[in-house]
Amino acid sequence: MKILLRTPLIALLLIFAPAIVTKAQDSRIQLSSLDHLAAKAKQTVDVNIDERLIRISTKFLSDDDADEKKIKEVVNGVKGIYVKSFEFDNDGEFSAADVETIRTQLRGPGWTRLVGVTSKKDGNLEVYLLLTGDKVAGLAVLHTDDRELTVVNIVGPVDLDKLAQLDGQLGIPDLGIEPQKPKAKKDEQ
Amino acid sequence: MKIKILIATLLFMFASIAVHAKDDDFKSVVKMIEQFYGVKHQGIPFLAKAGMKVATTAARIKGGEARRIAEAGSIKLAVFENQDFDGDFTKFRTSLNGALTATWMPLIQTLSATTQDQNYIFLREAGDKFNVLVITITSRDATVVQVNLSRKNLALLLKDPEGTGKSITEEATIIDQE
């Protein structure tokens, strides 16, 4: 009887365990909770550059052409770039709860908020990295203003320089991201 | 032997249906717009007689340095002019994505609740080229364009999806006028 009970349990665990592990390590955040904002936003931008498209880009784009090379370099190694951006006519058209649906995910295991990243634009900029061991597995940017909400999610290994390169490219809104450079050390004599 | 023939026939039929479905996505989108908004697309000869807006666009573009993005002979175009596109665009968007995302990659979508403008760009691999489907809907007009894109222009599309999407639509209307 015990074996009979245990078998379906083991089967269930076998089915769901890989999914749970994948979910925990996946740096793709769910942005669909924001979709309802499109109904009242002055401008909604939704960019989806998934792994298929990145694979195509790296396969077909040439290193000989400057334009193609630049795009290839930017997307190389990345597994996905997802953006949702909303711009409103009036203040307060999105709620703290809307933003919280994103922040909750970024408080999950592995995510770390980066300090020292600023934006030339007004508003609040938050940058998060997903670390697996000592490697960066993903990045998320949350930019909020009274009339604007933007989330950028890059899946896969990425650094801040690459993020700054992507700013205003590939349909990603220009967030004016400026990674702060470390202060120059005084010459030791 | 009969079973083998039957299986081969069935496989051939399934393959044909799959190819047919893939090829008909352009028509499906046009039909979807017609059904959702209760509008009808116009044939190009009708539009030419009506002295449509796209002709003005064509003239404007021709004045400048027009760069051809779409591959010659690859353009499929459907135009809807001077009709009402009243409807919940979020529902239309859901239906469109539901119908296309199995075979097409949604690259960029821009929407406006203020102006009711909708722009969609979908992409799919087609051998050594790419098919691009650009759908533009405003409160009074709409355009559906499907073109083949070379590798070089794929880079252009990825770099500036919105701008290149607009150029594809404008170019398609010019070429059909020529």
Looking at the complex, does the CB of residue B75 fall below 8 Å from at least one CB of chain A?
Answer: no
Complex ipTM value? 0.76
How many domains are contained in chain A?
1
The residues in B 5-64 lying below 8 A from A, measured between CB atoms, are: none
CA–CA dist A134, A143 (Å, integer): 26
CA–CA dist A37, B140 (Å, integer): 23
Gyration radius of chain B over CA positions: 18
Which residue is closest to A52 within chain B, CA to CA?
B105
Measured between beta carbons, which residues in chain B are less than 8 angstroms from residue A79?
A: none
The model carries a pTM of: 0.77
Residue type, A157: P
Q: How far is CA A16 from the centre of its chain?
A: 25
- The band of B165, judged by pLDDT with boundaries at 50, 70 and 90, is confident
CA–CA dist B39, B81 (Å, integer): 9
- The band of A22, judged by pLDDT with boundaries at 50, 70 and 90, is very low
Identify whether B98 is part of a domain. Answer: yes
- The band of A140, judged by pLDDT with boundaries at 50, 70 and 90, is very high
- Lowest average pLDDT, out of A54-68, A138-152, A173-187, B129-143, goes to A173-187
Quick: pLDDT tens for A73-94. 777 788 999 999 999 999 999 9
Identify whether A185 is part of a domain. Answer: no
Identify whether A133 is part of a domain. Answer: yes
pLDDT of residue B145 exceeding 70: yes
pLDDT of residue B29 exceeding 80: yes
CA–CA dist A87, A121 (Å, integer): 14
Looking at the complex, does the CB of residue B150 fall below 8 Å from at least one CB of chain A?
Answer: no
- Contact: A38, B110; criterion CB under 8 Å: no
Angle formed at CA A72 by CA A69 and CA A75, multiple of 5 degrees:
150
Do residues B138 and B131 touch, judged by C-beta distance below 8 A? Answer: no
Closest CA to B137 of B34, B66, B28, B23: B34
Do residues A91 and A147 touch, judged by C-beta distance below 8 A? Answer: yes
CA–CA dist A136, B116 (Å, integer): 40
Do residues B37 and B83 touch, judged by C-beta distance below 8 A? Answer: yes
Identify whether A90 is part of a domain. Answer: yes
Q: What is the pLDDT of residue B19?
A: 42
pLDDT of residue B18 exceeding 50: no
Identify whether B33 is part of a domain. Answer: yes
Q: Is B11 exposed, middle or buried (0-12, 13-18, 19+ CB in 10 A)?
A: exposed
Do residues B86 and B37 touch, judged by C-beta distance below 8 A? Answer: yes
Q: Which residues of A touch B (CB under 8 A)?
A: 35-36, 38-50, 52-53, 56-57, 60-62, 65, 67-68, 70-71, 75, 89, 169-171
- The band of B105, judged by pLDDT with boundaries at 50, 70 and 90, is very high
Q: How far is CA A50 from the centre of its chain?
A: 12
Q: What is the pLDDT of residue A96?
A: 95
Higher pLDDT: B108 or B69? It is: B108
How many domains are contained in chain B?
1
Per-residue tokens: B25: 């996505």
With H, G, I as helix, E, B as strand and everything else as coil, classify residue A176.
coil
Looking at the complex, does the CB of residue B92 fall below 8 Å from at least one CB of chain A?
Answer: no
Q: What is the pLDDT of residue B60?
A: 43
pLDDT of residue B20 exceeding 80: no
- Contact: B152, A65; criterion CB under 8 Å: yes
Do residues B80 and B143 touch, judged by C-beta distance below 8 A? Answer: yes
Do residues A25 and A18 touch, judged by C-beta distance below 8 A? Answer: no
CA–CA dist A76, A69 (Å, integer): 10
Which residue is closest to A72 within chain B, CA to CA?
B155
Closest CA to B174 of B44, B39, B41: B44
Residue A143: DSSP 8-state: E
Q: What is the pLDDT of residue A189?
A: 37
Distance from CA of B112 to the nearest CA of A (A): 5
Identify whether B12 is part of a domain. Answer: no
Identify whether A20 is part of a domain. Answer: no
- Contact: B111, A44; criterion CB under 8 Å: yes
Pick from B113, B130, B162: CB nearest A42: B113
Top-ranked range on mean pLDDT: pick from A23-27, A28-32, A178-182: A28-32
Measured between beta carbons, which residues in chain A are less than 8 angstroms from residue B106?
A: 46, 48
Residue tagged 């408080």 (tokens):
A107
Measured between beta carbons, which residues in chain B are less than 8 angstroms from residue A150?
A: none
Residues 6+ apart with CB under 8 A from B33: B39, B41, B80, B92, B135, B137, B142, B144
Domain that holds residue A125: 27-179
